[in-house]
């Protein structure tokens, strides 16, 4: 298999300077999907230099807002044109189902269109009343400069788009590093940016490992901002590397998300069915490899046995297999490493006293589940408590833990008893309780009687160790801007402050 030229630097596709390559595997059977260029520090420096030139001397930062917005809309159109092709790439690269891949492309399209509309509807600045008619004072917004965008492996195209679209809308240039595990859809997006007419050097891509590529981007003196989505350990390293140059840093570092179910939400058969259905979706969508996954079910004690029994039955019935196969509802984990991590957490939970209600092992192989694939059965762990490792740490796999509560106060305490704070949900038929609990949860997104939906217009990000900064919404656009105050004296005169 010949290697793809997957480094895009200053408008040209190329191999890595060292000639190194990396195999990209299909997680459904561990076969090689593609051989891509494995970039290093030299390639990263070249990409940053290209982005720096394009920002300092190129046209993009000075391109009228209307033209930048129109380019984003062209990219949105191209994404829809290639929807099936990209969805297949995403399905085979990440293991998710083909339908999930289609949804991802649609959500990426929405992100590009949203930021195109948002930047067009904003004013060019903010007039500040100085209290003096002879002073004109205004705050204006400028692009940050060269941005390093580091994306994760679970939603490669979607998470990249949340960074790329606002960065371009506000006139920045960038170097994008996708996960080395799932780079293929990002390569396709960069091709679409070029097809849409983006000037050379504005969008640069380096495929390769976090060390050295991500590390070099984070510390590089010519990078003005780093936006990183990924795990807590890696995010901490990014922040440490960026600190000496005092560049802007935005971090989205995952979560350990509570799904709080009060018994009154299940007083009717429809309410019970809905709450159980959503709890299954919250935990096992994309095999639990979602930063906002509802991996912690916190259910009222009086409802617990009935709820967990039915939830376990439905989890056991989930059809696992290759994501491109008809009828498959959930694909494999993304890598052998992620499979081993999942097995480790389940073993740890067993040792600490959890009861496996369903799952807890790899499924039997079949025509749609090759033995060499990274499959793990959806797993429900009952009788869990805060002392367990599986409760405290982000597992990022098809594992749902069950905790119980008796009072509203206890439910809130349990839900907030985490060092993370990305997302959470509350299920109740009591409107007052819903508002009280949602108001007290220390999480960046809180759903009431729902789980997982997000809107491009609404900010996304977390409290605590879930990171800092926000993506999406007006705040997501603001991350890629600097504010500048321009104060103009319309009638300058000597002040005579000093007598001489």
Task: Classify residue 104 as left (phi > 0), alpha (psi -120 to 50) or beta.
Answer: alpha
Indicate the helix (H) or strand (E) that contains 270.
Answer: helix 269-284
Tokens matching residue 325 = 């196969």
| d(C-alpha 43, C-alpha 48), whole Å | 9
State the sign of the Cα–Cα–Cα–Cα dihedral 307, 310, 313, 314: negative
DSSP string for 2-24? PPB--EEETTEEE--TT--EEEE
Indicate the helix (H) or strand (E) that contains 46.
Answer: helix 41-56
Tokens matching residue 296 = 């912690």
| d(C-alpha 95, C-alpha 429), whole Å | 37
Beta-strand relationship, 355-358 and 399-405: unpaired
Of the candidates 291, 300, 384, 408, the residue annotated as catalytic is 291
- Helix, coil or strand: residue 244: helix
Beta-strand relationship, 225-229 and 146-150: parallel
Tokens 């009280």 correspond to 436
Of the candidates 252, 300, 459, 471, the residue annotated as catalytic is 252
Eight-state DSSP code of residue 62 = G
| d(C-alpha 239, C-alpha 246), whole Å | 10
For the CA atoms of the chain, what is the radius of gyration?
24
Q: What percent of the residues of the chain are helix, what percent strand, and what percent coil, each to the nearest 5?
A: 40, 20, 35
Nearest one of 488, 47, 434, 74 to 262, comparing CA atoms: 434
Answer yes or no: 330 catalytic. Answer: no
Answer yes or no: 384 catalytic. Answer: no
Is there a contact between 182 and 153 (Cβ–Cβ < 8 Å)?
yes
In whole angstroms, how far apart are CA 48 and each of 244, 317, 336, 448?
18, 49, 32, 43
| Catalytic positions | 252, 291
């Amino acid at each position: 298999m010949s290697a793809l030229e997957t480094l895009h630097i200053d408008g040209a596709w190329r191999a890595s300077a060292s000639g190194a390559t990396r195999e990209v595997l299909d997680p459904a059977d561990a076969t090689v999907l593609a051989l891509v260029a494995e970039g290093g520090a030299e390639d990263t420096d070249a990409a940053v230099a290209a982005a720096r030139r394009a920002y300092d001397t190129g046209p993009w930062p000075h391109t009228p807002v209307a033209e930048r917005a129109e380019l984003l809309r062209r990219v949105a159109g191209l994404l829809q044109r290639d929807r099936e092709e990209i969805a297949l790439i995403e399905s085979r690269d990440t293991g998710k189902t083909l339908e999930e891949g289609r949804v991802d492309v649609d959500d990426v399209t929405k992100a590009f269109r949203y930021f195109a509309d948002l930047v067009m509807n904003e004013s060019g600045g903010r007039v500040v009343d100085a209290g003096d008619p002879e002073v004109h004072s205004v705050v204006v917004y400028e692009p940050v400069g060269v941005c390093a965008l580091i994306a994760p492996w679970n939603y490669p195209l979607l998470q990249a788009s949340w960074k790329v679209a606002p960065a371009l809308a506000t006139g920045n240039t960038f170097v994008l590093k996708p996960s080395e595990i799932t780079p293929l859809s990002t390569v396709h997006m960069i091709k679409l940016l070029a097809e849409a007419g983006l000037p050379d050097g504005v969008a640069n891509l380096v495929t390769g490992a976090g060390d050295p590529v991500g590390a070099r981007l984070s510390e590089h003196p010519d990078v003005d901002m780093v936006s990183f989505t990924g795990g807590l350990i890696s995010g901490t390293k990014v922040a440490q590397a960026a600190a000496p140059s005092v560049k802007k840093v935005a971090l989205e570092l995952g979560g350990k998300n509570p799904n709080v179910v009060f018994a009154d939400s299940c007083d009717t058969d429809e309410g019970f069915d809905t709450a159980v259905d959503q709890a299954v979706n919250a935990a096992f969508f994309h095999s639990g490899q979602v930063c906002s996954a509802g991996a912690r079910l916190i259910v009222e004690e009086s409802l617990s046995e009935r709820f967990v029994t039915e939830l376990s039955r439905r989890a056991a019935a989930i059809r696992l297999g290759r994501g491109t196969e008809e009828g498959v509802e959930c694909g494999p984990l993304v890598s052998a490493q992620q499979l081993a991590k999942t097995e480790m957490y389940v073993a740890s939970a067993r040792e600490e006293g959890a009861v496996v209600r369903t799952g807890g092992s790899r499924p039997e192989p079949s025509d749609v589940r090759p033995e060499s694939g990274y499959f793990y059965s959806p797993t429900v762990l009952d009788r869990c408590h805060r002392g367990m490792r599986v409760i405290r740490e982000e597992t990022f796999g098809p594992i749902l833990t069950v905790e119980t509560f008796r009072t509203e106060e206890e439910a809130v305490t349990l839900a907030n008893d985490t060092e993370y704070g990305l997302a959470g949900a509350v299920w109740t038929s009591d409107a007052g309780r819903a508002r009280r609990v949602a108001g007290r949860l220390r999480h960046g997104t809180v759903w009431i009687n729902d789980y997982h939906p997000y809107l491009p217009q609404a900010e996304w990000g977390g409290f605590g160790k879930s990171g800092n900064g926000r993506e999406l919404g007006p705040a997501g656009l603001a991350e890629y801007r600097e504010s500048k105050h321009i104060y103009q004296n319309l009638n300058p005169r000597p002040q005579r402050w000093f007598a001489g």
